[in-house]
Structure 1
């Protein structure tokens, strides 16, 4: 398995697409074991795509694309500006607020980071923000997106680890607001030193707040409807993905009336590309995952960690540190698919809550999208702003420290994560 892991890293450093790096390195494992039937890699690839629960992934991706084309993004931008425009940092604060509001719409941190950069990046430059600072804010702000329903990471983790997706959805709300607060405080401190002014000179009137809320209410109600549907047993996780698509189309056609033929075509085209990339990655991960199980890698890693400490909090902290380091080299989606079967059994062995661990795991894995050398969201933002990665890296350090501190804090405060799931679905 060592040769497979080394080959995987070499392929990544060569710039090979992640899905091919996983698939080809996984095939190397079977070349090392000629006693295994050569048809297994093909069977594994097909089997990975036959999981009914994974149907929620393409449906939520499609719903997010329809919501983005419906005109709801502009309404949320207006709401974010009204709510946070008076805070120090101006558009930086607006960006973080919008990321929190957009979490229930896009579900993808990379899509959210790219979209916000196109909307706010140029305006931030005009207001005197440095490219590196603007890129860091726009990139790290999208961390909120995958942990507010319907985050795709929750669906992947819940499917692979057999964990309630409804409880995972509910677990994201409180941590999301803690992360929002941490980044807002970081912006306030850094903006004060740099002299970045508020976007608005006076507080909004009650009428302005009401109008902004009315415009964005359909996006704000989206995750609420998802959780209610799951809690009341109206939908399964896969069925609620279909409801999300119907909801997004209805909002675009009836409420905002912005979802015309061209927008529908663009949404379908974008969904096709996104779904193809994610499902191809999931399919080829089955080849790689077979070798992990065959070589008993989960047991070996569990033994190594337990050799350091058998305290649940200590183990979770070690896992988070490992994921943060791995996230510098491997995409967050890949980490969720590959490492869930390794770490989740260990957490369960120590009587840890799989929902609590899942939330921490997904935050830590998502942070990898914002760190060099392979951060997908980082490159999306830097390419749009034409920002050097070095400048981005220097400016992102305060935000990395802030979100890592919140992640480590959540390890020792499981009730903060589990409060909403227990309130909605009941305690275990």
Structure 2
């Protein structure tokens, strides 16, 4: 109770999530005099030395390198060519760009911030309502966090001992369905409001193929990773190192846009991004130890067993819990805290952990786009200077449709598991 109380109080006062987790865990050790305080340092240091966890900083660096290499601009031109002729063309460009960016950034917040800078001002110039523009930029970030290589799926696979290769492949179909869903909702709204297309006519095959050739190195990147992991050419951590080399070669020698200046800017940005993510992961090791020490997982399983909750009800309760938790906590922090507790329970209940991991990350990331403290929502609204209430009002159709899709994915598992079962 002391840990939970400390956690809530510190969150209310707006302390960064990593320090909230670390201080809350430390309170437990201060109260329980039987545990040596040195365990805190041991757990933090031990987590930072994990070989599988190397995939996280490597993929963050690879994504930043690709963004500095001009790949993002090429992908936006490609997305504009294939969807710009539709009503509300820029909204569709945002959805498709998020799908394409999934193979590069793997972060919903990074994608939302990038698109807010690139597409936001133009949308407002085209007389899109500010709330709608922010919503149609922030919400598709969910696609980016689902398409491989997703940082959230790497973290889930690491802490829950689940195949990252299967998680990567399992994210492809849900990511594609999310893209279709967002484009459908955006199209309906655009037609009702008479939002103009970005292009007067459909792009020619020649234009599309020309742009496709420019983007080919970015588009085949996720495919290379999946094939490499599937056939044992490299582990997920080694795939991250390969991704860095791949991104550097593409930027330096193929596109020739990666120079000393933007290389240094990329490294600085990567250090900042990694510091935030790795600090959360390191501090969560303290909570993980407490969960194991107090045998919370087995106790929770006993409670659920006595209540006779079936797999479907367990999945529904999980979705509701993650939807609420995602509104307040960083998805990676939530996975690190609750993933090791819940994964053994759902396995005993007969739920595939790959299926559960994809539902868990989709729901948590969805919470990142919702009030009151969704990080992707705040990033987009602050960059575009949009009021949260305007964003929330315009996001309702997206909220409803995403929640419905998550429920379908949860209770029709073949949608998620078709490709992993086929490939593996």
**TM-score range with shorter-chain normalisation?**
over 0.9
Deviation at 1:304, TM superposition (A): 4.3
Paired position in structure 2 for 1:312: 311
CA distance in 2, matches of 1:13, 1:377: 19
CA distance in 2, matches of 1:336, 1:285: 9
Contact 1:66 1:245 in 2 (8 A): yes
Deviation at 1:87, TM superposition (A): 2.0
SS across alignment from 1:147:
coil
CA distance in 1, matches of 2:405, 2:86: 21
CA distance in 1, matches of 2:81, 2:277: 35
Contact 1:306 1:315 in 2 (8 A): no
Pairs within 5 Å for 1:353-392: 353-392=352-391
Pairs within 5 Å for 1:129-208: 129-208=128-207
CA distance in 1, matches of 2:178, 2:86: 17
SS across alignment from 2:139:
helix
CA distance in 1, matches of 2:327, 2:146: 20
Contact 1:331 1:368 in 2 (8 A): no
Q: Does 1:254 align with 2:241?
A: no
Q: Does 1:408 align with 2:402?
A: no
Paired position in structure 2 for 1:45: 44
Deviation at 1:303, TM superposition (A): 4.1
CA distance in 1, matches of 2:137, 2:407: 23
CA distance in 2, matches of 1:36, 1:189: 59
CA distance in 1, matches of 2:122, 2:303: 50
Deviation at 1:292, TM superposition (A): 2.2
Q: Which runs of 4+ in 1 moved over 6 A?
A: none
CA distance in 2, matches of 1:154, 1:144: 13
Paired position in structure 2 for 1:211: 210
CA distance in 2, matches of 1:155, 1:396: 28
CA distance in 2, matches of 1:363, 1:309: 26
CA distance in 1, matches of 2:380, 2:48: 31
SS across alignment from 2:49:
coil
Contact 1:309 1:315 in 2 (8 A): no
CA shift digits 1:359-398 (9 cap, x unpaired): 1111011112111222111111011011111111111111
What's the TM-score once normalised by structure 2's chain length?
A: 0.98
Structure 2 residue ranges without an equivalent (≥5): none
SS across alignment from 1:319:
helix
Q: Does 1:24 align with 2:26?
A: no
Deviation at 1:420, TM superposition (A): 1.4
CA distance in 1, matches of 2:312, 2:178: 20
Q: Does 1:420 align with 2:419?
A: yes
Paired position in structure 2 for 1:275: 274
Deviation at 1:294, TM superposition (A): 2.4
CA shift digits 1:221-260 (9 cap, x unpaired): 0000001111121111111111000000011012211101
CA distance in 2, matches of 1:186, 1:177: 15
CA distance in 2, matches of 1:283, 1:356: 26
Structure 1 residue ranges without an equivalent (≥5): none
CA shift digits 1:236-291 (9 cap, x unpaired): 11111110000000110122111011111111111111111111111111112222
CA distance in 2, matches of 1:140, 1:250: 32
Worse-superposed segment, 133-142 or 310-319: 310-319
Deviation at 1:6, TM superposition (A): 1.8
Pairs within 5 Å for 1:328-343: 328-343=327-342
Paired position in structure 1 for 2:291: 292
What's the TM-score once normalised by structure 1's chain length?
A: 0.97
SS across alignment from 2:140:
helix
CA distance in 2, matches of 1:138, 1:318: 29
User: Pairwise CA RMSD of aligned residues?
Assistant: 1.2
Contact 1:110 1:142 in 2 (8 A): yes
Contact 1:89 1:198 in 2 (8 A): yes
Deviation at 1:145, TM superposition (A): 0.8
CA distance in 2, matches of 1:89, 1:359: 30
Q: How many residues align?
A: 424
